[in-house]
Amino acid sequence: MPLQVSDYSWQQTKTVVFLSLPLKGVCVRDTDVFCTENYLKVNFPPFLFEAFLYAPIDDESSKAKIGNDTIVFTLYKKEAAMWETLSVTGVDKEMMQRIREKSILQAQERAKEATEAKAAAKREDQKYALSVMMKIEEEERKKIEDMKENERIKATKELEAWKEYQRKAEEQKEIQREEKLCQKEKQIKEERKKLKYKSLTRNLASRNLAPKGRNSENIFTEKLKEDSIPAPRSVGSIKINFTPRVFPTALRESQVAEEEEWLHKQAEARRAMNTDIAELCDLKEEEKNPEWLKDKGNKLFATENYLAAINAYNLAIRLNNKMPLLYLNRAACHLKLKNLHKAIEDSSKALELLMPPVTDNANARMKAHVRRGTAFCQLELYVEGLQDYEAALKIDPSNKIVQIDAEKIRNVIQGTELKS
């Protein structure tokens, strides 16, 4: 049964009440103060002080100062008036209990409201930070697009200049070709004149050879015409039909059933969208795209902003939890931040989604094993880490970096066994 404290002193003005309460040698850290607008309680075992205040106070602005074995309260009144007493008189036990319960409920509601306000402020801060990052990304994207557009315009101008140069070169070749044809025609005319002259001389020499001379002239002219313009070659076309293949491996080496299952899973993953998220109404259309969020997370990872990258991957996974690359990339972020258990969970989830094993997902499976193995090794679970590295080497046996790391892990395991 606590001892009620009655040796306190108080003073007041129209707006403030000053209450001085002795601690009677009790340690300060054992003192508990509870205050609402109508109730004040100070518990410092084995002593207890309660005051059912005469009028409401502003408990948020009121203060308590502890020093020199005394607590001094500064209580600000809600209404400027003089109190007759500090506590209300003539209050029975039931009324006191109701005031206590009401005060506790008010304190709980205020604490709940404060917690909700703090959470809302935190969400607003995160939303603002995300919008700022997206704005920066948008500016960078626009800058890159402008650079691409400038390069495209430059390349187009260079292409047009090259086409103009080619056109002029073709025109020059055509002019030279026409000049050669004109020269050939002149040569043919000169040959004809020479033949006519020879035929006339033969007619004068012998009339019997006149028809023969005319016939020979026709033969020569016909031959010249045939030699000057050759007949064009005939053209043809060949049609080739290739066997359609989704994967680049040879048909005799591929696993058709597994590849078809993997393609079906990928198509299902692209369609698996979760739109029942409260934050979606505040986002732009492009920000609701998991692929866009994945690319944004990759850019943030490249700038070593790992926490922001994790936020982007988290939202993308909430939108679509069937994309293995989201878990794989988030595992890399957790590795950078030394969140090793989370890195193991994300790598395992990525491996679960990267089934069945086919050539198309081999590189992703190799990375998942390496990242999970790295997390195990940093947790000093070298045997489990070596198992993942060996699984990665089965996928990519020619990877020199993975081979070197696996050999280092074996040396660590052998050294540990020798010491033990």
310 shares its domain with 419? yes
Residues 6+ apart with CB under 8 A from 290: 273, 316, 317, 319, 320, 323, 326
| Residue 323 forms part of a structural domain | yes
Type and span of the H or E element at 33: strand 32-35
Q: What is the residue range of 196's domain?
A: 184-224
Residue found under tokens 């502890």: 66
| 39 part of a folded domain | yes
Residue 147's pLDDT is 92
One-letter amino acid at 155 equals A
Beta strand 47-52 pairing with 3-4 = parallel
> Is the C-alpha dihedral spanning 288, 289, 295, 298 positive or negative?
positive
Q: Six-digit token pair at 346?
A: 């994300």
Domains held by the chain: number: 3
pLDDT score at 327: 95
Is 253 part of a structural domain of the chain?
no
Query: Whole-model pTM?
Result: 0.41
Residue 31 lies in a domain: yes
Rounded to the nearest integer, the mean pLDDT of the chain is 82
Q: Which residues of the chain have pLDDT under 70?
A: 1, 201-255, 272-282, 416-420
Q: What is the pLDDT of residues 241-250, one digit of tens each?
A: 655 555 555 5
CA angle at residue 407 from 401 to 409, to 5 degrees? 105
Whether residue 318 is contained in a domain is answered as: yes
**Given 76, 91, 106, which residue is the final one in a domain?**
91
pLDDT at 159: 86
Instruction: Give the residue from 91, 116, 149 where a domain finishes.
Output: 91
In Å, what is the CA distance from 143 to each residue of 146, 294, 397?
Answer: 5, 20, 41
Domain boundary among 91, 115, 133: 91
